[in-house]
Chain A
Amino acid sequence: MFKNFFNKKKSFAVNIFPGDQEISISRGETLLAGALRSGLAWPHKCQVGSCGRCRCKILEGKIRPEIDFNYVLDPVDVASGFVLACQSTAKTDIKVSVDLTHKRK
């Protein structure tokens, strides 16, 4: 019963599509923070969950939402897997789709 509790993973693998790049994020670290720490040009602006600029789609795996995404994202998109990277921490290894070639508006 306590096996999982004591053997908690300290970090998770994040595969980013398109491009199939892999980064690692620590437990409790947001997807955006991990990506920026790894030098990726992940789109972002406010970093507090209010602008929606860091949105991405989870293709596989589980995240823990730190806030209610419905304020910023369309509920239909949320239901289909869109999340805010600055407000998502990983619960498992994940595969995610995001456009890293964006131009800052």
Chain B
Amino acid sequence: MKKLYVNVRYLIVPVMTVTTIIGLFIGGIYAWIGVFLFGINTILDTLTKDIHLKADFDEDGNSYGIKIFQYSVMYLMLPIFIILQLALANNLYKFIYLEVLEISELVGSILSCGLWAGLGIIYGHELSHNKREGFNVSRAIMALSGASHFTYAHVYNHHLDLGHEDDPATAPRGRNVYAHAWLSHAGQSKFSYDLENAKLKKLNKSFFSLQNKWLLGYLYSLPSIILFVWSGGLVGVIALFIVWVISNFLLEALNFMGHYGLIRETGKPVEHRHSWDNDNLFTSWFFIEIGRQCDHHVRGETYFWELDDVKGPNYGIGYFSLFVLALIPSLFRKFTQKHLDNWDQNYATGAEKEIVNKYYVNELLQKASK
């Protein structure tokens, strides 16, 4: 029974994504179901903010997670996300060529698709750490959002340079989520480009080689572009652009919330204190434990269902609630300041404190010069 509970609880996103797809096919008010579900999740996350969980192990210390089941679900999410795009393309076609769809239905479809496509990150992320076929499924899922570079950048850049200015996915103090979304996206793509360039040079291969994973990643997104051009022409391109903006914004918001303001000294190992943990009930189940960043960054290849509470820094509220705060930068800064102060006092090393102090001195100088 416990085994069933531990494994089934991670099915919220698959079930809700399929519900969103059905809503898109039915149309009418149901085209908005993805947006509605996102709102419901924010409420559920906020209501359960005080329930924190640990990982579940039996008396022998074995996890209840069933690998074959969890992997089957994650792989199955690739065709599900493809069908989600097909459902939107279908609505676009109905709007543009058949003229049987209202504009409000199309807007609902685009927003619903963008929000749920963005959740591809949780599978893209988990599978990026599981090599071979899992890695390729991760690339394919991310390519549906035009972000296939993520898989390489996440492993070779973020995991290595976390908490450091060389990591575009770590948001320094004072940056807001809107700036971060763009800077992190572009920075990771640039990293992936440089990584491939360096590899190809070492191997004496041309940039336009089939071994160029940066280039190939963008080519994987070509079917989506063709689909949307075919089904909606210019409107289709705009719709796909909006879907990609929303989904990449969600991806980068997760990066933003996972490491905002945390600092690591150059060359020092990544430790639990370099990430914000998130162990809220709804967040843990919905985001398949992606919030257990502290443990994840130290044991990068541990399956999500085995990641545990390691007493790292923690905002104490779930990702949906934190995301709402992040959308209002002044509120987010106010909320996070006390947690950052706590980190500075109780987690940071002497050298990390020095970096923090320099940041605040610079900030004061900048304010004074205005």
Q: Which of A49, A50, A66, A72 has the most CB of B within 10 A?
A: A50
For B157, the chain A residues whose CB sits under 8 A away are 50
| The one of A50, A66, A75, A104 that contacts B160, using a Cβ cutoff of 8 Å | A50
A8-16, A18-26, A40-48, A92-100 - interface stretch = A40-48
A71 to B203, CA, bound (A): 10
Q: Is the CB of B129 within 8 A of A48?
A: yes
Q: Does B300 contact A (CB under 8 A)?
A: yes
Residues on A with C-beta less than 8 A from B195 are 71
Say yes or no: is B358 at the interface (Cβ < 8 Å to chain A). no
Q: Is B301 interfacial (CB 8 A cutoff)?
A: yes
Docked-complex contact A48 and B301, CB < 8 angstroms: yes
Chain B contacts for A72, CB-based, 8 A: 156
Q: How many Å lie between the Cα of A68 and that of B199 in the bound state?
A: 10
A74 close to B (CB within 8 Å): yes
The count of chain B contact residues (Cβ–Cβ below 8 Å) is 19
Contact B301 A71 (CB under 8 A): no
Nearest Cβ on chain A to B182's Cβ, whole angstroms: 24
Select from chain B the residue with minimum beta-carbon distance to A87.
B131
Question: Does B8 sit within 8 A of A, measured CB to CB?
Answer: no
Q: Which B residues lie within 8 Å of A75 (CB)?
A: 202-203
| A105 sits at the interface (CB 8 A) | yes
Q: Which of A50, A51, A70 contacts B199 (CB 8 A)?
A: A70
Residue contact A74 to B155, C-beta cutoff 8 Å = no
Give CA–CA (A67, B300) in the complex, Å. Answer: 14
> Which positions 71-85 of chain A face chain B at CB distance < 8 Å?
71-72, 74-75
B156 to chain A, nearest CB (A): 5
A67 touches B131 (CB 8 A): yes
Residue B190 CB within 8 A of the other chain: no
**Which residues of the other chain, B, contact A45 by a CB distance below 8 angstroms?**
269-270
| Measured CA separation A105–B299 after assembly (Å) | 20
A51 to B132 alpha-carbon distance, docked (Å) = 19
Most central of A47, A74, A87 by chain B CB within 10 Å: A47
B159 in the interface (beta carbon within 8 A): yes
Instruction: Evaluate contact between A48 and B300: CB separation under 8 angstroms.
Output: yes
Does the CB pair A74–B270 fall under 8 Å? no
Residue of A nearest to B198 (CB): A71
Measured in the bound complex, the distance between the Cα atoms of B195 and A67 in whole Å is 14
Scan B292-311; emit 1 where CB is below 8 A from any A CB, else 0. Answer: 00000001110000000000
In the bound complex, residues from chain A placing their C-beta under 8 Å from that of B299 are 47
Partner of B131, one of A47, A50, A66: A66
**A30, closest chain B residue (CB):** B301
Whose C-beta in chain A lies nearest to the C-beta of B135?
A67
User: Does B300 contact A47, Cβ atoms closer than 8 Å?
Assistant: yes
Least Cβ–Cβ distance between A79 and chain B, in angstroms? 11
CA distance A46 to B135 in the complex (A): 17
Chain A residues in 8 Å Cβ range of B61: none
Roughly how many angstroms separate A49 CA and B203 CA in the complex, as a whole number? 19
Point out the residues of chain A lying under 8 angstroms from B155, CB to CB: 48-50
Distance in Å: Cβ of A45 to nearest Cβ of chain B: 6
Q: How far is the CB of B12 from chain A (nearest CB, A)?
A: 27
Given A50-B155, A70-B202, A75-B202; 17 other pairs, CB 8 A cutoff: A45-B270, A46-B270, A46-B300, A47-B299, A47-B300, A47-B301, A48-B129, A48-B301, A50-B160, A51-B160, A66-B131, A66-B132, A67-B135, A68-B199, A70-B199, A71-B199, A74-B202
**Chain B residues within CB distance 8 Å of chain A:** 129, 131-132, 135, 155-157, 159-160, 195, 199, 202-203, 267, 269-270, 299-301
- 7 A-B pairs with C-beta separation under 8 A: A48-B300, A49-B155, A50-B160, A66-B131, A67-B135, A71-B199, A75-B202
